[in-house]
Copies of this chain bind each other. A is one copy, B any other.
Amino acid sequence: MSAARTVTAEGCAELLGDLRRAAPLVQCVTNAVVTNFTANVLLALGAAPAMVDIPGEAAQFAPVASGVLVNLGTPTESQRAAMLEAAEASLIAGTPWVLDPVAVGFLSVRTATAQRLVTFRPTIIRGNASEIIALAGSGAGGRGVDSLDEPAAALDAARLLGSRHGSVVAVSGAVDAVVAPEGAVVRVANGSAMLTRVTGGGCALGAVMAAFASLTPDALLAATAATAAYTLAAERAASTAAGPGTFAPHFLDALAAITPADVVQGLNLPGGD
Contacts and interface: CB of A to CB of B under 8 A. Distances in A.
A119 interface: no
Contacts of A56: 108-109
A58 B74 CA distance: 11
A73 B32 CA distance: 13
Nearest to A51: B33
A13 to B, nearest CB: 20
Given A34-B36, A64-B106, 12 more contacts: A32-B51, A44-B245, A49-B144, A50-B103, A51-B144, A53-B74, A54-B77, A54-B109, A57-B109, A64-B143, A244-B253, A245-B256
A5 interface: no
Nearest to A48: B146
Interface stretch (A163-171, A197-205, A265-273): A197-205
A25 interface: yes
Contact of A198 (B43, B50, B199): B43
Interface in A98-138: 103, 106-110
A53 B110 CA distance: 12
B242 A253 contact: yes
Nearest to A75: B54
A43 B253 contact: no
A6 interface: no
Given A73-B51, A107-B61, A251 B245 contact: yes
A252 B256 contact: no
Contacts of A146: 25, 48
Closest 9 CB pairs of A and B: A245-B252, A243-B253, A245-B249, A50-B144, A39-B199, A245-B253, A243-B256, A56-B109, A246-B249
